[in-house]
Structure 1
Amino acid sequence: MEQAVLSTIIILSVLVPPRQTQEIPKPVLTLHHNYSKIYKGEPITLRCDIRNGKKSDWEYKWFQDGDLHNPVFSSNETEYIATPYSKKIYADFLVSRKKTGNFSCMAVRKSDRKQSQVSDAIELTIHAISAPEVKVSPSPWLRVGDSAMLSCEIQGSSEDWTYYWYRTIPYKDGLPSPWTKRFSMEMLPDVQHGTHGPLSFSNVSLKHIDVYACRAGRGNPEFFTEYSTAPELLWVSASSPRATLRVSPNRVQHFADEAYSVSCEAHGNSTGWKVKRFIYDKGQSECGTEWGTMTGSSCYINNTNTSEEPVYWCQSDSGEYSDAANITEHYFRSVVLESPILPVPEGQSVKLGCRHKTLPSNHRAEFYRYDKLIGSAKTGEMIIWSVSKSDEGRYWCTIPDLGESSSSWLSVRASSVSLHLSRALITWLLFALQMMYHFSLS
């Protein structure tokens, strides 16, 4: 009898297989990001999918660099959207000096707390992003009726950005003041939704005189860059200003311990004209208030001992303006480029000099337009003969083994003389063509 029962048990054990525990599959971690680069502080989405049961059956955990004991985030949702400074990932990872990190995820079944395997890791590379720079083309120095284009350029990034544009106003509580508490940034009302390219002005007038800044944004939620490195002045002069600004010595770059003067030469009476300046972190002021000594219509600036880039202009009591001039004062550089500060009429020649702070002037120097070498001279000077608009641009120089200057803009303005010559040349060519046609018929 016992043997029969035992046989029955053995047969049943063979016929009924043991109950197997259902295996939990490995989840799949994916990165959802619409751009080729991820920038520090930019939101990202890490999605953890497990193809077994309903999404609500699981709890999800995300890990960094293989640390499975300390998840950076846990949620009942499959997506982890990390926004700047609100989650541990940004506190420990993006704000740190690390540029790469491995991320993985795991699913935990709520019913029995069984854990899945850890997903395959994905590596994220976080890039630093520079503040954008405002650039004005063709020049920040314009006449009424000219056209200008302001671009907001981010070094090393050609992604699809939206650009937001601002002008400077006196400090106002509640508005951004990224550089100084002396003024704030106010968004331009005409482009509050931003632009997807440069900001263009056609037929400029005096109302466009302003100091402009920008920043860029992308994505949803939107990620913003910092504000541009420095605001950019856009200057518009009347077609025939009643006063001319003179700088002595006539050059853009000066050493900080050198004295120079800025004068207003009015066409008629110079009474009532004052010299004013703008420095981006100090705002606008008048000669004789916080700087310089005003004597008549001339302002004398002596020994600033700072590295600044003031913009000077003449302004009358009635609100008229002269041309403006941007001077660069160098405290740390040992080499400066000597170039004319005001626009040069077409057809004239321009002398460029490369000067060392302490050495004599007769030394070898190399001169560049943008990044292209245009000439070298043993005397430290070179001449551009009969300039034209094609010579306009940014120039700099270097003294081999001793240093290089910063760059300065050389502005070339069409003159009435060159215009008349062009018309005369066209008239002569038409006459010559008519004569050739006449002789060909005879």
Structure 2
Amino acid sequence: MPKAGRVTDWEYRWFQDGDLHEPIFSSNENEYTDSLFNNSVKVYVEFMLEGKNTGNFSCMGVRKSDMQQSHVSDPIELTVHTIPYTDLTASPSRWLRVRDSVTLSCEVDRSSKGWKYYWYRAVPYKDGLPSSSIKSLSMEMLPGSQHGAGGSLSFSPVGLNHIKAYVCRAGRGDPAYYTRYSIPQLLWVSGSSPSATLRVSPNRVQHFDNDAYSVSCEGHGNSTGWKVKRFTWSKGKSECGTGWGTVMGSSCYINTSTYDSIEAIYWCQSDSGEYSDAANISQTTKPVILESPILPVTEGNSVKLGCRYVTPPSDLGAGFYRYDSLISSERTGEMIIQSVSRSDEGSYRCEHPVLGESRSSWLSVRASSVSHHLSQASITWLLYALQMMCHFNQP
């Protein structure tokens, strides 16, 4: 018997589910292992295409010098397990202000029983920490999550210390069988009244691949030293002037030739550590983009969404979708949401019947100050009413 893995004069053939007419793999080595990655993937893909996860495999040898065949081996059963994905969401939004509340929810794809959940924050790569598919990031486990926790994580009230990229995964069984890490979810928290406003020119979230755009900071009050910063999944947090942008006055002109400029989160930060609101800016090679507000809009205001094209077609009509549901078809390629509310928050895209669909962008809706607190006029009226009640109740 040749030693396992040794190249010999024999050719080895592997068969699946009793079909001896067409081997699924043949080799001069007498092992068929996971080191033969492409062929392992082939078996996995065949299972998925056929809707199966289990098969019976057998092998035989053929001597190349005289084509003598061995007996076919007894079959063995092989089961292929797919690694589940996890989906991480933030409710009511991942764009927050100080003193808001937020809940992160982690769900396992196609399964919900018996899982323990593990919570992490994504940090720049560190030796000794696990990494996800984004090799430049490591997963640092949050306190209290070592032995598994629930499928939700809440913060109330939030502060600037909650500005982090959060990640989850789940495990069950002994020894534990783990899901994949979720896609990182960045929570952004700005002051209740930010001391600076982030400006993007042209003023839109999505840009075409060859578009040039700039980001600038408009400070208010006495705050000084505002700088444009950004976060990408490939490089983490960095400041304009470190390769991806050129500082000119108060503006940062983005170098759109770098791969990690395809999608990034931008914000303004002062020397004293104050933050503006943040914006998720993206570029695309698609011929269609969605025009939508860069910053969160306040409840009660109207919002215009538009479909923009690299080369405008004769027919500008487009459909507008919230998540995967069509909400409006407009001949002008523009739609207006009157008096927005928190229920209008979500992921939007547009689609042209010929040119196709845009990428999706998140529309963030912020509660008005009146909905959180009594307005000054209401307080004045209330004090007046109390005074009148006291006056009429005097003996």
Q: How many residues align?
A: 327
Report if aligned partners of 1:100, 1:123 keep a CA contact under 8 Å in 2. no
Distance change in 2, residues 1:421/1:397 (3 Å)? farther
What is the CA–CA distance in structure 1 between the aligned matches of 2:137 and 2:284, rounded to whole Å?
25
1:299 counterpart (230, 246, 252): 252
| Deviation string, structure 1 residues 68-120 (Cα, Å, up to 9, x no partner) | xxxxxxxxxxxxxxxx98xxxxx89986854443579xxxxxxxxxxxxxxxx
- Equivalent pair of 1:279/1:308 in contact (CA under 8 Å): no
* Mapping 1:54-133, distance limit 5 Å: 97-98=46-47, 99-101=52-54, 126=80, 128-133=82-87
Q: Structure 1 stretches of 5 or more lacking a match?
A: 1-63, 68-83, 86-90, 105-120, 432-442
How many angstroms does 1:248 deviate by?
2.1
Q: Does 1:174 align with 2:128?
A: yes
Q: Find the counterpart in structure 2 of residue 251 from structure 1.
A: 204
The amino acid that maps onto 1:236 is V
Letter in 2 for 1:279: T
What is the letter of the counterpart of residue 359 of structure 1? Answer: P
Q: Is the 8 A contact 1:101 1:124 kept in 2?
A: yes
Q: CA deviation at 1:152?
A: 2.2
Q: Which of the residues 343, 348, 354 maps onto 1:390?
A: 343
Q: What is the SS of the residue equivalent to 2:229?
A: strand
Q: Which amino acid aligns with 2:303?
A: V
Matched, 1:345 2:268: no
1:210 and 2:164 equivalent?
yes
Sort the Cα spacing of 1:385 and 1:136 in 2 relative to 1 into closer, same or farther, 3 A: same
Alignment-mate amino acid for residue 272 of structure 1: G
**2:352 counterpart of 1:399:** yes
Match of 2:152 in 1: 198
Query: What per-residue deviation string (whole Å, max 9, x for no partner) do you get for residues 24-62 of structure 1?
Result: xxxxxxxxxxxxxxxxxxxxxxxxxxxxxxxxxxxxxxx
Task: State the alpha-carbon separation in 2 of the partners of residues 252 and 101 from structure 1.
Answer: 46
The equivalent of 2:104 in structure 1 is 150
Q: 1:231 is matched with which residue?
A: 184
Mean CA deviation greater in 191-200 or 371-380: 191-200
Identity of aligned residues (%): 64
* Aligned residue in 2 for 1:374: 327
Task: Note the aligned Cα RMSD (angstroms).
Answer: 3.4
2:137 aligned to which of 183, 190, 196: 183
Give the Cα–Cα distance (whole angstroms) in 2 for the partners of residues 312 and 278 of structure 1.
Answer: 7
Establish whether residue 139 from structure 1 lines up as the match of residue 139 from structure 2.
no
Counterpart of 1:72?
none
Distance 1:256 1:212 in 2: 29
Q: Say if 2:256 and 2:262, in contact at 8 Å, map to a contact too.
A: no
Q: Which is higher, the Rg of structure 1 or of structure 2?
A: 1
Preserved contact between residue 351 and residue 381 of structure 1 (Cα < 8 Å):
yes
Amino acid corresponding to residue 271 of structure 2 in structure 1: D
Question: Residues of 1 paired with 2:357 and 2:206: CA distance?
Answer: 12
* Corresponding residue number in structure 1 for 2:118: 164
TM-aligned CA deviation for residue 312 of structure 1: 0.5
SS of the residue 1:203 aligns to: coil
CA shift for structure 1 position 144: 1.2
TM-score by length of 2: 0.73
Deviation (angstroms), 1:401: 2.9
> For the structure 1 residues 96 and 388, does the alpha-carbon distance in structure 2 shift closer, same or farther, using more than 3 Å as the test?
closer
Return 5+ residue gaps in structure 2 as ranges: 1-15, 20-32, 35-39, 58-74, 386-395
For residue 282 of structure 1, what is the aligned residue in structure 2? Answer: 235
**SS across alignment from 1:323:** coil
Q: Is the 8 A contact 1:279 1:310 kept in 2?
A: yes
Deviates most, 296-305 or 377-386: 296-305
2:194 paired residue number: 241
